[in-house]
Structure 1
Amino acid sequence: MKNVLFLIADDLRPNLDVYQGLGYHLGQSHTPNLDQLAKKSILFQRAYVQYALCSPSRTSFLTGRRPDTTQVYDLQTYFRTIGNNFTTMPQYFKEHGYQTEGMGKIFHPGKASNNDDPPSWNKYHHDGTSQTSHNLDYSWKAVNDSERSHNPLVDEVISKTAKEVLQTLSSGSKPFFLAVGFHKPHLPFEFPEKFLSYFPEDNIQLPSNEFPPHGMPDIAWSRYRELRSYRDISALHATGESNTLLPHHVVRELRRAYICAVAYMDSLVGEILAEVKRLNLESNTVISFIGDHGFSLGEHGLWSKDTNFEDVVHAPMMISVPGLTDNGVVTNQLVEHVDLFPTLVEVAGLPLLHTCPEHSHLDTCTEGTSMVPLIHHPLSQIKQAAFSQTFRHRAMGYSIRTDRYRYTEWPAFDSRTKKPDFTHSYGSELYDHVNDKEENNNIVARPENAQIVTTLRDMLRKGWRSVSKDPSIIG
């Protein structure tokens, strides 16, 4: 059985050099350590989260279940009390003889996980690093060396702890599952001051599409309350309404600070990877790296997450498997974060997870698909669509991404029964990624698209189980 090092970044869109050409660069990026990891990993170019908000997303990929199964749609609900007593990824490894340890932000902290889900771990390193910063004085800050010497940044502490724990685990008798959750680049965008020099302000680009999609239903919009809660942003009296913008100098500052925070996080990943190498663990350790979801940085005039747009549901994912991905594998096939649990189980050498039967209450099964076939055949297709969703106070936005299209419906949603009512719709969206990668034009109402809308609507309403059974392929 192989060790597993499970790395998570918070609010990370695919803003890495290895994702060049996908439209996620803000003028520059600096991620040498993740780029190096990608060269000996399978890199998933099109991996999609099931819900672009921290707790629903993390609950989904850590249990291998989709949000309508976990019933987690917010930052307070604990899946074991509302959904079921599902076996989590680290818990499964623990039950199969692994030493499971975690630190930083893995599950959403606090009430949403009963303080980092105790059943999952042999040991969780609660040194304050699982808690998100609540300092709302500023949306970003470049921290000088003097400040850091007196008060180290949280992710620096997490990295230091991870290296110490690796040293202990490397001399243990059990295989290990070590989860390390970085807070950055989550707001506030804090990072060591030196990273500003990596990204000259003049090189930071403004979004090319600072306007909502033409024909977008109102319910698809988010007023990005999270960003507006910081005092420097609230002082601008931004309403968050559609067709309003933050001042361009603020947009550039925020985008620059975000990529500085990404570069800082990458440097800490590099420290941990160096320790893995120093301890001679590389040949027997699977290394997984993901972002829990993406992030809007002014595209469409939007900020933060909690929508169904490509910028927030598309997130980085790579898995290094010794002996299988040593020379690097790149796949452009659609995958989902819910696929991660069964994949890591398989590459680590544990008993495979079975697909959950419909309407099942089994503790241990998966609603994802193992991605291992893509390691051997990266051009093969393991599913026809990726499914995402996000909740509004009266509706649930269900979205599917196929090779060519993104289709979204906004049916009424009963919060008591957790069921959508597709007979009562608040709008729908269709974006053609061949002709409109930025999702600037909702073409759902165009007569020439009636047939594709009908086909995609049927696929969306049938749900994720249908995409591996229906032999037809939607573009």
Structure 2
Amino acid sequence: MLFCAIIVILFLSVEGEKKNVLFIISDDLRPQLGAYKELNLGPSFTPNLDNLAGKSLLMKRAYVQCALCSPSRTSFLTGRRPDTTRVYDLKHYFRDVGGNFTTIPQFFKNHGYRSVGMGKIFHPGVTASNNEDPLSWNNFYHLEEDQDLSVSWRAVSKAERLKDPLIDELVVAQAKTSLHHLARERRPFFLAVGFRRPHLPFVFPEEYLADYPATQIQIPRNDYAPIDMPSIAWSKYPELRSYHDIGALNVTGNLNTTLPDQIVKDLRRAYFSSVTFVDAMVAEVLAELEKLNLMDDTIISFIGDHGFSLGEHGLWAKNTNFEDNVHTPMMIRVPGKTDRGVVTNNLVEFVDLFPTIVEAAGFPPLRQCPERSSQVYLCTEGKSMVPLMTDPDAQWKSAVFSQYERPGNIMGYSVKTDKYRYTEWVRVSEKASSNSDMADVVARELYDHENDYQENVNLVDHHDKASVVASLKQTLHGGWRPIHTDLIGK
């Protein structure tokens, strides 16, 4: 009995040394934060997230693997790319179509943590995640929002919110309650908090409109499709057009059409206000963490699940491979490592998040997935970013990858390098498990990010870019593995 008691005490001691993890996701968040002001995306008032960024490893160039909720979330929560998870839409569940992969919260649950989630973490619903992937959690709190399609945005009064709190206010309340319960336990925790905003409809407290006077809201200067862009790259933004106020305008979403100027300004102002609302909600969760004296014992990760277009190129929402859709915020605070703030301009991917959090929490590094990993429960197709916390300018990935599916079995594979984005739209008879099946090319794109960061001109057929296209084609077809092999030992 004495021996057993000693073992239990040693176990609790070791577990007590592990860092907690607070994992925060904002839905449809482009880099609309003060910490990314150099991108000139429009006005932003996000003092709390900017403060967190100043104590974190801030990734200025972080890219999702797919600009759609379920494929992106499935990818970064499993640390595997869409061609491995086999999730390209909102209808399929990775455990049914890809494999019984270990997720981030499941990893910590399996290692003695209390795994608790709330809000939107996986894409909700039976078909997309079996209702938020039960294997990942000890406890999950389902907080649903009514799907009201009447208006695309709404500023809500304080009186209305007292009677009927907004979904993200309910998420914050549950996060605070959960933190109090977790603080009393004798083991570390993984707490995932998923905010709904700034996802459509843009619903937020009306006081945040004051941060964005109507006179400050501008129409994007590039409200036209990129010159020589193939039509397959376009999206008719059906999500936004499904709202009754937008549908009443009889907009088609067709190439080189756009919304009326005032509607554009109103939507942009509402989106910006929703972002500031999320900033305030994050602040409340962090304040509770501080109040409970847990800040020094907790790793904090904050991300968006993908970017969002607000009229740039005349586009709205997501569903493309454009920079506006695949570039999104990422920051990770690790007590004792990032306290003074670390900024990196290295290219990173959202599949890098899983191995980074695992290593930062003190566990052995995850091993890289083999070529065929459907039967491998735990591995990663990303690369731990922990080395960037001490050397943000270290030699790192030379390229990052995204993809998006179009009807007719057409997949758009995109590679982003330091200077360029190159995309091939490929007809595939069956979803490839790698980039190897890329012979039937339907269309191509090349954007010069050094001179045209907004991606306004497709240069793929310009003769002076032939050598660039050839090099990028080789990189795209080679996929991510050679990129990671170049980093072995770094």
TM-score normalized by structure 2? 0.94
Confirm or deny: 8 A CA contact 2:428 2:440 kept in the other structure: no
Number of residue pairs matched by the alignment: 466
User: 1:89 is matched with which residue?
Assistant: 104
> How many Å separate the matches in 2 of 1:183 and 1:300?
25
User: 2:258 is matched with which residue?
Assistant: 245
User: 1:396 is matched with which residue?
Assistant: 411
User: 1:188 is matched with which residue?
Assistant: 201
Q: In the TM superposition, what is the alpha-carbon distance from 1:351 to its structure 2 partner?
A: 2.7
Aligned match of 1:269 in 276, 279, 282? 282
User: 2:137 is matched with which residue?
Assistant: 121
Worse-matched range after superposition: 408-417 or 84-93 = 408-417
> How many Å separate the matches in 2 of 1:75 and 1:86?
18
**Secondary structure of residue in 1 paired with 2:187:** coil
Summarize the alignment of residues 51-450 of structure 1 with structure 2, pairs less than 5 Å apart: 51-110=66-125, 111-126=127-142, 129=143, 131-360=144-373, 361-394=375-408, 395-415=410-430, 421-450=437-466
Give, as a single letter, the amino acid of the residue that structure 2 aligns with 1:319. Answer: I
Identity across aligned pairs (percent)? 58
Confirm or deny: 8 A CA contact 2:47 2:279 kept in the other structure: yes
Q: In the TM superposition, what is the alpha-carbon distance from 1:423 to its structure 2 partner?
A: 2.3
* Structure 2: runs of 5 or more not aligned: 1-17
Judged with a 3 Å threshold, the aligned counterparts in structure 2 of structure 1 residues 217 and 148 are, in CA distance, closer, same or farther, namely same
Q: In the TM superposition, what is the alpha-carbon distance from 1:382 to its structure 2 partner?
A: 2.2
**Secondary structure of residue in 2 paired with 1:21:** helix
> How many Å separate the matches in 2 of 1:29 and 1:57?
25
Confirm or deny: 8 A CA contact 1:340 1:368 kept in the other structure: yes
Confirm or deny: 8 A CA contact 2:220 2:311 kept in the other structure: yes
1:196-221 CA-to-partner distances (Å, cap 9, x unmatched) read: 11111010011010100001011000
Confirm or deny: 8 A CA contact 1:65 1:338 kept in the other structure: yes
**Secondary structure of residue in 1 paired with 2:83:** helix
> How many Å separate the matches in 2 of 1:452 and 1:249?
41
> How many Å separate the matches in 1 of 2:196 and 2:431?
33
> How many Å separate the matches in 2 of 1:62 and 1:423?
30
User: 2:478 is matched with which residue?
Assistant: 462
> How many Å separate the matches in 1 of 2:433 and 2:389?
36
Confirm or deny: 8 A CA contact 1:371 1:382 kept in the other structure: no
> How many Å separate the matches in 2 of 1:313 and 1:352?
26
**Secondary structure of residue in 1 paired with 2:24:** strand
Aligned match of 1:38 in 43, 53, 71? 53
- 1:7 and 2:24 matched: yes
1:12-65 CA-to-partner distances (Å, cap 9, x unmatched) read: 0000001011232x2x21111101101100100000000000000000000000
1:361-405 CA-to-partner distances (Å, cap 9, x unmatched) read: 311000000001110110013211110000001210000110110
Give, as a single letter, the amino acid of the residue that structure 2 aligns with 1:378. Answer: P
**Secondary structure of residue in 2 paired with 1:468:** helix
Q: In the TM superposition, what is the alpha-carbon distance from 1:350 to its structure 2 partner?
A: 1.8
1:70-118 CA-to-partner distances (Å, cap 9, x unmatched) read: 0000001000001000000100001111000000000000020000000
> How many Å separate the matches in 1 of 2:447 and 2:20?
41
> How many Å separate the matches in 2 of 1:87 and 1:461?
27
After superposition, the CA RMSD in angstroms is 1.2
Confirm or deny: 8 A CA contact 2:83 2:432 kept in the other structure: no
Q: In the TM superposition, what is the alpha-carbon distance from 1:287 to its structure 2 partner?
A: 0.3
> How many Å separate the matches in 2 of 1:242 and 1:415?
28
> How many Å separate the matches in 1 of 2:461 and 2:412?
18
**Secondary structure of residue in 2 paired with 1:423:** coil
Q: In the TM superposition, what is the alpha-carbon distance from 1:418 to its structure 2 partner?
A: 6.2
User: 1:21 is matched with which residue?
Assistant: 38
> How many Å separate the matches in 1 of 2:194 and 2:76?
14
Judged with a 3 Å threshold, the aligned counterparts in structure 2 of structure 1 residues 457 and 291 are, in CA distance, closer, same or farther, namely same
Q: In the TM superposition, what is the alpha-carbon distance from 1:417 to its structure 2 partner?
A: 6.0
TM-score normalized by structure 1? 0.96
Confirm or deny: 8 A CA contact 2:214 2:269 kept in the other structure: yes
> How many Å separate the matches in 2 of 1:50 and 1:306?
12
> How many Å separate the matches in 2 of 1:250 and 1:466?
46
* Structure 1: runs of 5 or more not aligned: none
> How many Å separate the matches in 1 of 2:194 and 2:184?
23
Give, as a single letter, the amino acid of the residue that structure 2 aligns with 1:11. Answer: D
